[in-house]
Structure formats: C-alpha cells, structure tokens
C-alpha cells in the first residue's frame, strides 16, 4: 500500500489492516510523519513531531504483533494530540508562553489508556492559548490554518487537532470541549468529533480550564473512529474523583444497530435563530437522509435557553480566572491580549452569580429532558449557524468586538456543555465557497451509543466524511 493510500485510511480501518498484517505499524508511522511534515508547513498545526521515538515504538508494535501479542483495538495506530495532555517529563505548552518550559509531572489518564489500547503518539498539536479561544488563533505559536482554505479559521481551541485530522496528517487526535472546542474544529475542518457526557472521561493530567464544563474527547475521520477511541478512554479513574463510575458500553458492538424508528428531534427555535440560509438548507437535507433511513423526525419546542447560555459564560469565566489567578498576579504580561482580557472579565464575576449559574444547571437539565428527551431520542441541530469566517475577520483582542465574536461562535455549542450532555458533530456537506459545515446530535446523559449509531448510519448513507482537502 502506498503512503498516499495509507494516510487516507480511517483509524478503525488502519487498525484492522495492521492486525491482519496488510501493512505494518512502521509503514503507517512513516507515511503519517512524512505527511505531517508537509502539512505543517502550510497549516501550522503541529507543535512537535517526535519522529525517532515514534518510529521506535512502531517497530516495537510490529515485533509484538509478530509474536501474536495485540495490545488492544488501536494496536499500532499513530496519533498526535492537543498540547494540553501531559506526558511525564515532556513539555506541554498548552499553547502558551507561560508553560513552554515546564515538564509535566505525570501522564494524563487519557494518554495512558490510549497507550494501553495500542495507539502510538507521534506528536503534539497546536491549540488556542490555554484552550481559551474558539477561533484557533494563537499569538505565541502562530495561528493554525484551515486545510480547506488557509485564509479561514480552524475553530478552537482544538485547532491543530481538527486541521491535522482533516489534512490526513494524523489518524485521530484528542481535543477538549468546554464551550465547543471539539465540535467547532470538527465543523470548520470537516471531521467528526464527540463531546462526551461531562465526567464520562477522566481529566487527570489534562490542563484545566473550567472544572464544571471541561470534557475530553477525540476528533477523527469518522463516527466509527470516535466510537473506537471513546471506548478506549472512557470510564472511572482513581486519579480523578469526578470521573463517572457509570458503566462504559461496547460502543463498537452497538454502532450498526438499526435506526429505523429512532425519534430525531429538530428544534423550533434557538438553534435556527438568524441561521445562514445555505446552512439551514444543508440541515434540512441531512434530516431528509434520516427520514429515508427510517427515522422519525419530530419538531420539538425548546425551553428558553438564553439564560443558560449566559450562566454558562459566567461559570467558565469565573472558573478560568480562578485557575489562572496566580499567573494573572505574577505573569500577566505573558498572556496574549485576548486571553488576558477574558481572564480579567472572569475576575469580575460576582460569587453569587457564579453560584446561581451552578444551581441552574440541574433545573435546566430537567426542563430540557422534559421538553426534548420525553419526546425524542436524539436532538439534531446545526453546530454553527454561519459561514466559516476568515482569520483576519476574527483577529480580535479585547473589548466589545471580542465578546460579540466569541459569543456568536459558541452560541450553539455552549448549551451542550452547560447541560453536561453528549454531543456528536459530523459532516453535513459543503457551502458554495467549498468549506465544510456540520450538524450536531445531542443525546441523553451517558447515551453516546445512540449518537454513534445515528451518526454512523448517516455516514454509511453519505460520502461527506470521505472528502479530503487537496
């Protein structure tokens, strides 16, 4: 198999090819590292590529397979990850100037679980500074660029994750999602991404931003890949008391379950307020696919979500400011203007407003479940409601413009974080300017399996996920 053909494989198909010895882990690693080097020159999506260590690990994986030893379902699959997942002794800059010389004291649980499943990390990926930016701009490491058109944003904060996976420079990548930071890059770069239920995946060893909202999840070529990787990293963790004890189902076994009769909700308001007409048309086309697959599409009336959106912003702002309190006092000059301005806003959030926001979450989830999940199994909605902006259009610092741009970009993703619900973003077509767009499927707590089944069925019936940037 040629290197060009290898990098086009999904993570799941690559894992099957390695296990069946159609190709070696070393072949895959050499192909993706060569591709990553080419892509990085144009997209600035990598922070570091660990060529020699990764090739040695790939040769070891091949030797183990030759002896009949398979580490797990991702044996030999190369991956790079967002530069906020700590590996003991290595530097994780978190996209910042402040942490660029700080070796990690321990290894993130998500990385340990991927290691145990057989995946091989070969590099780390660019990201928004401290994961606090939804556009993908980074004023320390340089802005990451969209592989479909480098003048446009990737979305953030998992910018390098979205760009590298779309450009076939990594088979999959971990991202993080606090207000949309997996789903936004998945949308703008044209890949799949899952924000799991809050607490579904351990956050030990992952840079914190907002304790009440942070989630860990993958970006990948396909929904099947997302299911495979989430199955590897989900579950309880003694090093993270917030990680749920809820059993992890066999996502892969449930992937192909029929969706005939599945009740898919489409919202009357909020998600379609002031939406771009072309994107609305693509959403309706995706719903028509579901109708043809036998799903029942039902219109649902959502509760008033604007107060939830405001509460989510206050919670994230306050918790981020608290996490950065010491550096804000001792090293304020080492933040970019935009991130420093956002953290300063968080310092001004009253404790009563923060606590009111936290108390509202349970009430909001009950109201949402009553209006939505009592009537449908999955909610279908756009991930963003506007055309992908350029890097120049969203190159902002502080002030009113910053607040307006950042709030509009995350308006449709942030409610999923506030409610703690699983949200799957997947490709739904291309706009006239040749850039991808996406839908998100929102499910009941811990029912990622339903999202995977619905998303996989859609991808089996369409070819959007097979498209790659030239």
- pLDDT value at 31 more than 80: yes
List pLDDT tens digits, range 428-451: 999 999 999 999 999 999 999 999
pLDDT class for 30, splitting at 50, 70, 90? very high
List pLDDT tens digits, range 78-91: 999 999 999 999 99
- pLDDT value at 397 more than 90: no
Average pLDDT (209-235) is: 98
List pLDDT tens digits, range 36-79: 999 999 999 999 999 999 999 999 999 999 999 999 999 999 99
Residue 421 has a pLDDT of: 98
Q: What angle do CA 343, 345, 348 make, to 5 degrees?
A: 115
- pLDDT value at 212 more than 80: yes
Residue 242 has a pLDDT of: 97
Average pLDDT (342-365) is: 97
pLDDT class for 396, splitting at 50, 70, 90? confident
Q: What angle do CA 312, 160, 16 make, to 5 degrees?
A: 110
Residue 270 has a pLDDT of: 96
Question: What is the chain's mean pLDDT, rounded?
Answer: 97
| Residues contacting residue 187 through CB under 8 Å, at least 6 positions apart | 155, 383, 384, 425, 436, 437, 438
Prior bond of 157 cis (ω within 30°):
yes
C-beta of residue 39 within 8 angstroms of C-beta of residue 164: yes
- pLDDT value at 405 more than 90: no
Average pLDDT (139-164) is: 98
Q: How far apart are CA 84 and CA 126, in angstroms?
A: 9
Q: How far apart are CA 185 and CA 384, in angstroms?
A: 11
Element holding 299 (H helix, E strand): strand 296-300
Residue 407 has a pLDDT of: 83
Average pLDDT (272-301) is: 97
- pLDDT value at 401 more than 90: no
Average pLDDT (110-118) is: 98
pLDDT class for 147, splitting at 50, 70, 90? very high
Residue of higher predicted confidence among 400 and 347: 347
Q: How far apart are CA 298 and CA 262, in angstroms?
A: 10
C-beta of residue 189 within 8 angstroms of C-beta of residue 162: yes
Q: Cα 4 vs. chain centroid, distance in angstroms?
A: 25
pLDDT class for 211, splitting at 50, 70, 90? very high
Residue 11 has a pLDDT of: 98
C-beta of residue 116 within 8 angstroms of C-beta of residue 71: yes
- pLDDT value at 101 more than 80: yes
Q: How many other β-carbons are positioned within 10 Å of the β-carbon of residue 329?
A: 8
Residue 317 has a pLDDT of: 97
Q: How far apart are CA 381 and CA 306, in angstroms?
A: 16
Task: Give strand pairing partners of 139.
Answer: none
Positions marked active-site: 82, 157, 181
pLDDT class for 400, splitting at 50, 70, 90? confident
Q: How far apart are CA 136 and CA 185, in angstroms?
A: 8
- pLDDT value at 223 more than 80: yes
Q: How far apart are CA 370 and CA 372, in angstroms?
A: 6
- pLDDT value at 233 more than 90: yes
With H, G, I as helix, E, B as strand and everything else as coil, classify residue 255. coil
Residue 403 has a pLDDT of: 77
| Residues contacting residue 52 through CB under 8 Å, at least 6 positions apart | none
């Amino acid at each position: 198999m040629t290197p060009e053909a290898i990098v086009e494989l999904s993570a799941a198909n690559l894992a099957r090819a390695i296990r069946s010895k159609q190709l070696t882990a070393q072949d895959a690693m050499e192909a993706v590292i060569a591709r990553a080097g080419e892509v990085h020159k144009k997209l600035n999506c990598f922070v570091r590529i660990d060529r020699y260590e990764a090739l040695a690990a790939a040769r070891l994986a091949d030797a183990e397979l030759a002896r009949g030893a398979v580490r797990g379902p991702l044996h030999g699959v190369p991956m790079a990850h967002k530069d906020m997942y700590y590996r003991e002794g290595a530097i994780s800059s978190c996209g910042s100037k402040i942490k660029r010389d700080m070796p990690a004291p321990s290894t993130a649980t998500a990385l340990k679980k991927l290691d145990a499943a057989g995946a091989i990390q070969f590099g780390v990926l660019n990201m928004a500074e401290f994961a606090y930016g939804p556009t993908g701009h980074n004023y320390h490491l340089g802005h990451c660029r969209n592989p479909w058109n480098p003048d446009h944003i990737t979305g953030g904060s998992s910018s390098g994750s979205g760009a590298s996976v779309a450009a076939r420079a990594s088979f999959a990548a971990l991202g993080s999602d606090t207000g949309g930071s997996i789903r936004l890059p998945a949308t703008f770069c044209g890949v799949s991404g899952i924000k799991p239920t809050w607490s579904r995946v351990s956050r030990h060893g992952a840079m914190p931003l907002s304790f009440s909202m942070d989630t860990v999840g993958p970006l990948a070529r396909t929904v099947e890949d997302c299911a495979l990787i989430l199955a590897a990293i989900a579950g309880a963790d003694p090093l993270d008391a917030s990680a749920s004890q809820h059993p992890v189902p066999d996502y892969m076994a449930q992937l192909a379950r029929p969706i005939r009769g599945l009740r898919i909700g489409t919202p009357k308001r909020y998600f379609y307020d002031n939406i771009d007409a072309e994107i609305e048309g693509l959403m309706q086309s995706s719903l028509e696919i579901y109708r043809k697959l036998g799903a029942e599409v039902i219109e649902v009336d959502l509760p008033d979500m604007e107060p939830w959106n405001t509460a989510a912003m206050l919670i994230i702002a306050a918790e981020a400011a608290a996490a950065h309190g010491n550096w804000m006092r001792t090293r304020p000059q080492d933040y970019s203007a935009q991130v420093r301005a956002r953290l300063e806003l968080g310092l001004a959030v009253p404790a009563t407003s923060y606590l009111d926001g936290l108390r509202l979450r349970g009430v909001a989830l009950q109201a949402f479940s009553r209006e939505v999940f009592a009537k449908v199994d999955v909610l279908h909605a756009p991930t963003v409601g506007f055309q992908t902006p350029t890097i120049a259009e969203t190159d902002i610092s502080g002030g009113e413009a910053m607040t307006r741009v950042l709030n509009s970009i995350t308006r449709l993703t942030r409610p999923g974080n506030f409610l703690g619900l699983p949200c799957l973003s997947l490709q739904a077509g291309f706009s006239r300017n040749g850039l991808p767009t996406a839908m998100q499927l929102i499910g009941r707590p811990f029912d990622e399996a339903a999202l995977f089944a619905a998303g996989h069925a859609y991808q089996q019936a369409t070819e959007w996920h097979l498209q790659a940037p030239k």
